[in-house]
Amino acid sequence: MNRNIQVTIIEDDDTIRNGYSFLIGNTEGYEVVSSYCSYESAALKIANDKPDVILLDIEMPGTNGIDAIPKLKKLLPHVYILILTVYESEKLIFEALANGAAGYLTKNTPSAKIIESIKEVKEGGGPMSINIAKMVIKSFQKNQESPLSKRETQILEQVCNGKSRSQIAKELFIDLETVRSHIKNIYVKLDVNSRADAIKTARENKLI
């Protein structure tokens, strides 16, 4: 039979931490093995708690949640970390995910969804709040009204891959001079005059 999902909570606000603790502790199949108010206090003992899932806040005194992720992963390589925070800034979300968070929920998330998400991460899923999912999906989307032509976009992509003019020419079966010409036109359209700036503008406007 399945044993309870072991959960640790790291959250500096007492009220919130106790709230989650109560919610999870009183749900069939779940168990709160420990809860801490900071990364520092958790670091000392969490290796013994051996939780399956950590609910982690971002804003905390001492080490913040983002920086705590890799450290916690080092202490518990197989743990799943679920971020539970009020922050919805793109930067924080992507940093958290890049650092190894398995999911990202905002604090307005209904209890049922939190409980479900804990189970979901434990099973290898990647739960997100609706608004987070929206931002994440948006981050993939290309700008639909690019000023660049198809060929120019194609070449800009290669530039972003670090290819030299001659490498691009070979790959697209066109002359070196043609690549040159396209890049010049790209520069004019994007109002830049270097590869680095072209790449930056391309990324900012999601042209690639």
Cα torsion 71, 72, 73, 74: sign = positive
Q: Nearest-CA neighbor of 76 among 47, 97, 99, 54?
A: 47
Q: Alpha-carbon Rg of the chain, whole angstroms?
A: 23
Beta strands in 11-123 (DSSP E): 30-36, 53-56, 80-85, 103-106
The residues in 147-176 that bind DNA, with binding defined as CB under 7 A, are 149-152, 164-167, 172, 174-175
Whose Cβ is closer to DNA: residue 50's or residue 180's?
A: 180
CA–CA gap between residue 29 and residue 42 (Å, rounded) = 23
Instruction: Report the residue number, 45 or 200, with the smaller CB distance to its own copies.
Output: 200
Among 45, 134, 138, 184, binds DNA (CB under 7 A): 184
Kindly provide the b/e burial profile for residues 132-159, where b requires at least 16 CB atoms within 10 angstroms of the residue's own CB: beebbeeeeeeeeebebeeebbebbebb
Closest separation in Å from C-beta 7 to its own copies: 19
Compute the least distance from the CB of residue 19 to its own copies, in Å.
Answer: 25
- Residue number, 118 or 128, with CB nearest to its own copies: 128
Compute the least distance from the CB of residue 101 to DNA, in Å. 23
Residue 78 interacting with DNA (CB under 7 A): no
- Nearest approach in angstroms of CB 146 to DNA is 9
Provide the token pair at 85: 């925070």
Report the C-alpha gap between 97 and 133 in whole angstroms: 12
Q: Both tokens of residue 94?
A: 């992507």
Among residues 33 and 192, whose Cβ is nearest to its own copies? 192
- What is the β-pairing status of strands 5-10 and 80-85? unpaired
Which of 41, 201 has the CB closer to its own copies?
201
The site for its own copies (CB under 8 A) is made up of 70, 73, 94, 97-103, 120, 124-128, 130-131, 133-138, 140-142, 144, 159-164, 167, 194-196, 198-200
3-state secondary structure at position 35: strand
Q: Which does 180 bind (CB under 5 to 8 A by kind): its own copies, DNA, none?
A: DNA
Task: Using CB under 7 A, list all residues that contact DNA.
Answer: 149-152, 164-167, 172, 174-175, 177-178, 180-184, 187, 193-196
